Structure 1
Amino acid sequence: MLKETLIAMRDLPRMKEISGVLIRHGLGEFAERLRLPRAMEVAGEWLHLRKSDTAETTPTSVRVRQALEELGPTFIKLGQILSTRVDVFAPHWIAEFEKLQNNVPPIDPALLPELLHSALGAPPEALFARFEATPIGSASIAQVHRAVLHDGRAVAVKLRRPGIVEKVQADLRILSHLATVLEAEFPDARRFQPQEIVRQFTRSMTREMDLEIEARNMERFARDFAGDEHVTVPGVHWQYTNPMVNVQDFIEGVPGCRIDQLASMGLDPADMARHGADAVLKMILINGFFHADPHPGNVIFQPGPRIAFVDFGMVGRLSHARRDEIVDLLAALAQHDERAMMDALIEWTGSKQIDEAQFATDIGELVFAYEHVPLKNLRISQLIGEIMELIRNHSILLPADLAMLFKALITLEGLGRQLDPDFLLIEHLTPFVRRLVRARLHPANLLKRSRHTLGETLSMLSSLPRGMARLSKDMRQGKFSVNLDLKRLDSFARQLDRSANRLTMGIVTGALIIGSSIVMTVNAGPRLFGLPFLGLFGFLIAMLNGLWLIASIWRSGKQY
């Protein structure tokens, strides 16, 4: 209760706004279970809001998307991140989250000189030969302006919005609190680990707000594709780059959302689809560092043919071990090996307990469904969708890097089919998988892995006596303990805590009534309306405590 009060007092206006938006979109019960109205009561604010007339007939996924849009940049970004969680949300939810757009007005042009001076220490005219005040792109965190350096090079100036850091941090505090309450009030939501998703989202938002991190991502991609004649990555101008501003080469070409213009530049859409797929698959399977949002707006087609990628705020990283797991899964599917496929998927469950027998049965049905499907008819997006449905049915939460990977592959296949209706991502994926399998079986790599395994084994064996000695010493000294995590008792413990609080408050209230009654018989001390002031004050406090007890019991009855 104290934590709710502190959060309500610190972020009271924003909490009230969030509560109002949820109630207007027919999510009032959800807001109440998250204790948002209760936080308003603690802060002395009472909500008198009604949901919209269309809320009852609108699907829940649509209402949630509309609420996120109304709540602004942080919640829009949250929805966009949730759209990558194909392992958590059903396709119709993902489709709604994908509709979220950053429809935000541009920064007031009168503020631009001051912002640039604050970020780079000089006015625009001293930094650039020409600076266009009208942005070519405006998003929730930053907006992009076209400019020309004094040496004649065209650049894109990405400028962070003023005050966005403080606003996002306030929203992240509220989201962290809401995730904690969500796990407490909705037991079924715990399997989706909302606190962990918010932590991942917080890390993602923190990185995206630092435009210098995006510049380092661009340099990493530029190194990975150095010498590739089909891929362009904008160069970074480091003398004009810091966490507040990012200056990079301006990329000319046809945006991915304007594929109708490719013919006028003499570009073959099928070739562009092929080169784009090869580039993204190289990022994922070879480099282990990939653009996590390759939608049409972040892809530009150039003569050559060349493909340029922009906006590197959201990237994914895959370790060598993770890439091996992906290759194992794809190889198992290609060979119809149910056991190997199950082993690969179970590796991603972490410590979560699942029904392995039912899991194996479901995997067998999936493999059987694709057993005689020709390669030319296999769609990666459909296959991933069925694997994700299987994972959701078993309440498995994928690691964040895999969720981003699968979403990137689905987006890539969608873009490829827009360019070429006959595009099949599996045809481009197969050569990469074969190449990686051959590389893993190369004698030099086998020897390297054997040495690594032998080293780990020897290290474990050498540390075993020391570990056993420490364990024995702890047991002799009575320091050995066993921790049990009984999650089913959480709800009972919270209910017991509430009951104890009410009992204590009831005893205090009874004592106040008895004490005030005694004070009322004493003809000494200050008086109000002819009655002892202390006695009246005691009765007032007792009445307030009684009202709190009644309200607490009433709310408890609505929740259970």
Structure 2
Amino acid sequence: MDIIKTSIVFTKTIRNVTRLKEIVTVFAKNGFDEFINSGITSHIPDFVLPSSRVKIKEELAQKSARDWPMIIGNRLRKCFEELGPSFVKLGQLLSTREDLFDESFIDEMKKLRDQALPIPFETAKNIIEQSLGIKIADIFSNINQQPIGKASIGVVFEGTLKDGQEVVVKVKRPGIEKIIETDFSILAFLISQLEKFSDEIKQLALSKILVEFEASLHNELNFNIEALNGKRFQKIIDKYDNQENKLFRIPHVYEEYTGEDVLVLEKIVGIPFSSKADVDKLNEGLTDKLQKAIEIFSKMYLHDGYFHADLHGGNMFLLPTGEIGIIDFGSMGNLSRKARHNFVAIIYSLLTHNYENLIYEFLDVAEYSAIPDVDKIIGDIKQELRPYIGLTAKEINSTQLLHKVIRTITKHDMFVPRDWVIVFRSLITLDGVSKSLRLDCDFFGILESNIKEIIASSFNKDEVIEDGLWAMKDILSTARLVPRHLKWFIKEWTKEKFAFEVKISGHEKEIVGIYSALLFLSFAILSAAFMFAGVLCLDSGKVKALLDISILSWVFWSLSCFFMITGFMVLRKGEK
């Protein structure tokens, strides 16, 4: 699914005009009819755009201007719920972009969780048997026909294997790929039209969000990838989790019963961290557990760059054994080695209040169409973070701090890529969980101690040698590529007949003088040439008087005088 191509060649990729009509109708009746232009409806034959009962502008006029994010969010949520899985998933993604949207809008998008409809058990049974090639009775001794979870991509059932092990069975919705492909092409087209309609919408970078969303969702559609993600997460977390007194519990994947459309996992029973009242009852020792959890997660971020991309209270459980269970590995984040170094530098800059370095690190990782005004951004960051100067790591409200940084960055038209938003959101989530449970966890203090270890290890001999080798490779590669690219550039330059203009201010008089002198030199050369041409036309043996000179010689000498006089006039004009 190449959504860039789909948005450009819309009429060739939309195979379901009925779906487009349905989407436009749903948005129109929920108040967005005034934003839907003819560029959209022209693709639907014989279509009359319905109008909503209460216009968005009318509702905004009745309420405070501060309520507009909530009003827009509420109406969008209703649209997404009615339009199904693709739009529900998009809404869930938008709920993670605190850097772009207002808090009240985010709250509306968060209500989309678990709003999907169930699928009939017979349908799920057929999918399981077709995917695994085994009769369901040969796998399970019992399976509950009522789903315990409904998501936009899959439906979750609970059952018991033949050996008595209790499991959960995740089944992909039938035909979901086709639905998502069609919806994505329509979304790409709608967003391209909306961005033409409004500069404010264009600044939200919805097209980029959709591209990232497509890549993420493509992985979530394959349950084999989710199974591999869980195994990798387990392997990395085991490096930091005490094997004798384990803190984390990752559900075991039954690979023999797992395929692209079906995922069978060990069932873990516990209290979700989103259920604050129930977790509060087991608060004893929870501060130490969460402190240790934050420490392990911070090491995973800083050392491995691998982390859970959808970490929230509903995916974390407090088990009766005292362990913390984590589920749902469909979407994971991954930072490269360079990105991890950037991340370390960003956090360290925040802790040391080095805001200039902070901005330069963000310039290295963010995307922007034009180079921002660095001094202005640094000034804005200093203004926003002034209240935190002088505070210790433990005294800093990390959630507020990270929100302010991201919002200030995006205010200057810098787009923060998805992986970076996810890693910051994961940190905010962990901090938010501890605060919601009224636990005293030194979040930034833990990060600070781990960062100091990483900075110390960066002077390790092996690391320095490795960095040096990579730097040498880059230099050699650049030395080889620059002549080629310069050759291609000059070739294109001459082929396209490009021209450039140089403007120099403050030396206009000198430039005019030089220009006049060059013109005088040109006229003098022309004058001399015509003078010489006139002489060549003379027949020296026949010229005994002026009347014997040929007319052609007089013409050339006249032109010579004309160019000489013109040259002197230009030179005098330039001297004034």
Normalising to structure 2: TM-score of the pair?
0.76
* Corresponding position of 1:318: 335
Match of 2:37 among 32, 35, 39: 32
* Corresponding position of 2:223: 211
Contact 1:262-1:268 at 8 Å conserved across structures: no
Q: CA deviation at 1:444?
A: 3.0
Q: CA RMSD in A?
A: 2.8
Counterparts in 2 of 1:429-444, with a 5 A limit?
A: 429-444=447-462
* Corresponding position of 1:46: 48
Taking a change above 3 Å as real, the CA distance of residues 113 and 459 of structure 1, as seen in their structure-2 partners, is: closer
In 1, Cα distance between equivalents of 2:446 and 2:236: 19
Contact 1:277-1:412 at 8 Å conserved across structures: yes
Counterparts in 2 of 1:251-266, with a 5 A limit?
A: 251-262=268-279
Match of 2:310 among 293, 317, 321: 293
In 2, Cα distance between equivalents of 1:61 and 1:263: 32
Contact 2:272-2:313 at 8 Å conserved across structures: yes
Taking a change above 3 Å as real, the CA distance of residues 139 and 469 of structure 1, as seen in their structure-2 partners, is: closer
Q: Which amino acid aligns with 2:206?
A: P
Q: CA deviation at 1:252?
A: 2.5
In 1, Cα distance between equivalents of 2:207 and 2:8: 20
* Corresponding position of 1:190: 202
The 3-state SS of whatever aligns with 2:104 is: helix
Contact 2:294-2:443 at 8 Å conserved across structures: yes
* Corresponding position of 2:177: 165
In 1, Cα distance between equivalents of 2:257 and 2:499: 53
Q: Which amino acid aligns with 1:315?
A: M
In 1, Cα distance between equivalents of 2:439 and 2:8: 58
Q: What do the CA deviations read for 1:192-242 (whole angstroms, capped 9, x no partner)?
A: 332222111112222111111111111111111236221221221111111
Contact 1:116-1:124 at 8 Å conserved across structures: yes
Contact 1:141-1:161 at 8 Å conserved across structures: yes
Aligned residues with identical type, % of pairs: 27
The 3-state SS of whatever aligns with 1:27 is: helix
The 3-state SS of whatever aligns with 1:202 is: helix
Q: What do the CA deviations read for 1:253-301 (whole angstroms, capped 9, x no partner)?
A: 2222335445776853313322332233233222211111211111122
Q: CA deviation at 1:339?
A: 2.1
The answer as to 2:457 corresponding to 1:451 is no
Q: Which amino acid aligns with 1:280?
A: F
Taking a change above 3 Å as real, the CA distance of residues 70 and 80 of structure 1, as seen in their structure-2 partners, is: same
Taking a change above 3 Å as real, the CA distance of residues 224 and 44 of structure 1, as seen in their structure-2 partners, is: same
In 2, Cα distance between equivalents of 1:49 and 1:189: 22
The answer as to 2:126 corresponding to 1:114 is yes
More off after superposition, 395-404 vs 92-101: 92-101
* Corresponding position of 1:364: 382
The answer as to 2:101 corresponding to 1:89 is yes
Q: Which amino acid aligns with 1:274?
A: Q
Q: What do the CA deviations read for 1:510-554 (whole angstroms, capped 9, x no partner)?
A: xxxxxxxxxxxxxxxxxxxxxxxxxxxxxxxxxxxxxxxxxxxxx
Structure with the greater alpha carbon radius of gyration:
2
The 3-state SS of whatever aligns with 1:129 is: strand
Give the unaligned 5+ runs of structure 1: 485-560
Q: CA deviation at 1:451?
A: 2.7
The answer as to 2:444 corresponding to 1:426 is yes
The answer as to 2:110 corresponding to 1:98 is yes
In 1, Cα distance between equivalents of 2:222 and 2:443: 33
* Corresponding position of 1:498: none
Q: CA deviation at 1:5?
A: 5.5
Contact 1:212-1:241 at 8 Å conserved across structures: yes
The answer as to 2:87 corresponding to 1:75 is yes
In 1, Cα distance between equivalents of 2:104 and 2:141: 49
The 3-state SS of whatever aligns with 2:37 is: helix
Q: Which amino acid aligns with 1:223?
A: K
- Alignment length, in residue pairs? 478
Taking a change above 3 Å as real, the CA distance of residues 462 and 395 of structure 1, as seen in their structure-2 partners, is: closer
Taking a change above 3 Å as real, the CA distance of residues 482 and 130 of structure 1, as seen in their structure-2 partners, is: farther
The 3-state SS of whatever aligns with 1:119 is: helix
The answer as to 2:422 corresponding to 1:417 is no
Segments of 4+ moved more than 6 angstroms: 263-266, 480-484
In 2, Cα distance between equivalents of 1:462 and 1:39: 50
Normalising to structure 1: TM-score of the pair?
0.78
The 3-state SS of whatever aligns with 2:307 is: strand
Contact 1:137-1:145 at 8 Å conserved across structures: yes
In 2, Cα distance between equivalents of 1:20 and 1:424: 50
Q: CA deviation at 1:153?
A: 2.0
The answer as to 2:146 corresponding to 1:145 is no
* Corresponding position of 2:236: 224
Contact 1:413-1:424 at 8 Å conserved across structures: no
